[in-house]
Structure formats: structure tokens, C-alpha cells
Amino acid sequence: MLRSTCRVLLFVAAVSSVATARQQPLPPRATPGAASQEEVTLLVNGYAFLAQGNHQQAFEKASEARGRFPRSVAVLTFAIEVEIARGGAKAGLDEYERWLGGRTLEEPAMLRRIAIASLREFVAQTQDGISRDAALWALVDDGDAGAYTEVFQNAQTQDTGALRRLAARGDERAVGALIDGGLMKMRTPNALATIVSLGDSRSPRVIEPLTRKLTDPEPGIRGTAAEALAKAGGPAMIARIKPLLTDERSFVRASAAGALFRLNDFSGMTVLQELLDSDIAKGRLRAVQLMASRPDAAWQNTVRGLLQNSDPQTRLEAAQLLVEHDPEAARGTLEGLANDPNPSIRQDATRHLASDLKAPFPTLRRLMRHEDWLTRVNAAASITTLTR
């Protein structure tokens, strides 16, 4: 009797178990395009080692995954993360270029990850303040909250450079600090840089302070203020700027003519035409810089003519103006200047090449390996901008 009861109970339990199992949802079947279980398992285990800081075992998993899934972007992503953790951004770039091989089609997301790693490395170093600052601002432009916090903290301690750059981006707090902090009273190049930043801010608050600068005893300040007002105030500033067309200084007259030209007022065209007709290349260069707001065919032809000038600095500045309108001609000039006997010209040309947002990825990858630190920062910043 006891045995019969036990058999019944076992049978009931089995039936109950089967019924319960039937009520449990089956695990979803993977869609045909999903990664294989083997690939996912390898990556999960590899990322676990990476999270633990066990870079050697993570590297071994990456090597195994590369061998088994050589075309997988997920595997490439993991392999690049491992190499960045092991050897920095350059090691990540090495890994990417090994994977790329002879392919001509790039993986922008991979380049972006490497560029961000490179910028963060430059921010972490303390040997070169200029490169660090450029990398920090590139991260700010890319929306990095930590970089912005650092910049804002610097600005709160009256770091004038940080204030100017925040103001130029339209940060009203920085605009107010520059206006109220006495910086507009300076008699140094910082005053000119401050005026330029206030103009770039396009804030209505800058109109009156900049207008007062139109009568400043320093001609550089008068001319720079006229150009800044044209940016910040628009056509309503025409009447304020026009009197400077009769200023005693040629720099101020030219600046006023260029500011009016930006506002589609051509009453200063005689001044600009005199510069365009000048026998001196620097005069023609100044004219096209002031007229860059209307880059028509005539303007572009004048700039192309300056690319042939014997003075390398003139060619450099002309190439900067033309890069958005004729990138091939501008890039050819910059590449030639990158081999100039003057080391300063070489450095500037290479840095401008790295900042060229129309440069192809292979060029930017090459410049991310350049010996000049700021060139590498500029190339990384260009990649982040292009892949945003």
C-alpha cells in the first residue's frame, strides 16, 4: 500500500513538473543576424577581465576572438579597448590599422574612440600646457561634462583665457565676467582678444561696451571693436561703425570697411579696393581677410593668387582662408609648407592640416602620430568633430 502511494505521488509530481515547465516561457530564439553564442561568450568573458584590470587575460581573449571572428566590429571594438587600456591611444590606433589592412572604407566610430582616448591622455599630462589646453577644449566642444566642469572652475578663478573661450561660445556668465571684471580696460593683447571673444559671443550685452571702444585712443582697439560690433550687433551697428571710415589710422579705416562689408554696406569699398590693388601682398591678404564673409569667385581667385606668393607666411594665411572653399588647393599649399625650411612655418602648416575638417581619415590618422603634440591634438579634435 505504501509503495502504491509513493508511486502515485511520484507520478503526480512528475506531471506537475511537466505542467509547470510548459507554463515557463522558452528563452527567445536568436534572430538570424545576431552574434553567435560563442562570440558573445568570448566578449563577455573578455570584458569581465578588462573590468577587473586583468589586461593580460583580456588580451588573450581579444586575440582568440580576433582569430575566430576576424571581421567582427564587436570584436574590433573590444580589441581596441584592450589595447588602449594596455598601451594608450597609440596602441589602439595600431590595433585599428592592423584590422584595417588594405581596406579603404574606414570605421569612424573606432577612430572616434581612439581620438577621445588621445585627447584624454593629453589632458592628463602636465608637460605641455598648450597641448593640454587644446585637448581640454576639444573635449568641451564634444560635450564632455568633466572637461566643461574643469573649464568652468578655471573661469571662476578668473582665468582670462577660459573666460574668453567660454564667452566666444555664447556663455552669458563668461560674457558678464569679461564686461564687469575690468578686462575691457586692459592695454595689452589680452584686451584685443577679449574684444574678439565678446564679438563672437553675439550677446546683446556686449553692444554698449564695444561701442565705447570705438573711441578708444588705441587704434588697434578701435578697429577690433568695429569688427566685433559687426558680428554681435548686425545691421543696426552700421551707423556706429561708419564714422571710422575717416579715422586717421589706415588700420582702423580698413577694419571699419571690412565690418561694414560684412553687414552688406559697401560704403567702405574704396578702402578695400585700395588694399586689393596693393603691390604689397600683405595688403591684398588683409583685404581678403576683411572680405571673407562673401567668398565669391573673385575673392577666391585673389586668394589663389596669394598661394603663389614668395612669402611662406602669406601662403600659409591664404591657405587657411581657402581651405573651406577649395580644399584641394589649400591642402596642397599646406603640405608644401609642411616641408618649409622655417621650422615655425612647418609646424603651423602641419597643425592647420590636422585641423582641416575636410581632410580624409588616412591623413588625420597619420597626423595623430606626428611628433608635434599640438598637431596630434588637432587631428584627434578633427576626428571627434567629423564623427559627432
* pLDDT tens per residue, range 60-72: 999 999 999 999 9
pLDDT of residue 13: 44
Confidence bin at 178 (pLDDT 50/70/90): confident
How deeply is 19 buried, as exposed, middle or buried, from its count of CB atoms within 10 A (0-12, 13-18, 19+)? exposed
pLDDT band at 328 (very low <50, low <70, confident <90, very high): very high
Distance CA 279, CA 272 (A): 14
> Residue 363: pLDDT above 70?
yes
What angle is formed at CA 308 by the lines to CA 310 and CA 293, rounded to 5 degrees? 115
**Which pLDDT belongs to residue 78?**
96
8-state DSSP, 35: P
Asked if residues 203 and 232 have their Cβ atoms less than 8 Å apart, the reply is: yes
pLDDT tens digits for 5-36? 444 333 344 444 444 444 555 556 667 778 88
Q: Where are the domains of the chain?
A: 158-265
Alpha-carbon gap, residue 33 to 218, rounded angstroms: 69
> What CATH number was assigned to the domain covering residues 158-265?
1.25.10.10
Query: How far is Cα 90 from Cα 126, in angstroms, rounded to an integer?
Result: 18
Distances (CA, A) of 354 to 78, 80, 199, 368, 382: 27, 23, 27, 8, 7
pLDDT of residue 26: 54
Max CA separation in the chain (angstroms) = 124
Task: Say yes or no to pLDDT of 375 above 90.
Answer: yes
* pLDDT surpasses 90 at 92: yes
pLDDT score at 160: 76
Report the amino acid identity of residue 97. Answer: E
Task: Report pLDDT digits (tens) over 220-279.
Answer: 999 999 999 999 999 999 999 999 999 999 999 999 999 999 999 999 999 999 999 999
What tens digit of pLDDT does each residue of 132-177 get? 999 999 999 999 999 988 988 877 776 678 888 889 988 898 898 8
Q: Long-range contacts made by residues 52-61, C-beta under 8 angstroms, separation at least 24?
A: 55/82, 55/85, 55/86, 58/82, 58/85, 59/86
pLDDT at position 123 is 97
Query: How high is the mean pLDDT of the chain?
Result: 90
> What is residue 159's predicted lDDT score, i.e. its pLDDT?
67
Query: How confident is the model at residue 177, as a pLDDT?
Result: 85
Residue 87 CB partners (closer than 8 Å, separation 6+): none
Question: Measured between alpha carbons, how far is 381 from 131 in angstroms, rounded to an integer?
Answer: 11
- DSSP label of 25: P
Q: Where are the alpha helices (DSSP H) in 24-54?
A: 37-51
Is the predicted pLDDT of residue 367 greater than 80, yes or no?
yes
Q: What is the per-residue pLDDT for 189?
A: 66
pLDDT surpassing 60 at residue 59: yes
The C-alpha angle 81, 374, 136, rounded to 5 degrees, equals: 65
Please give the Cα distance from 249 to 351 (Å, whole number): 34
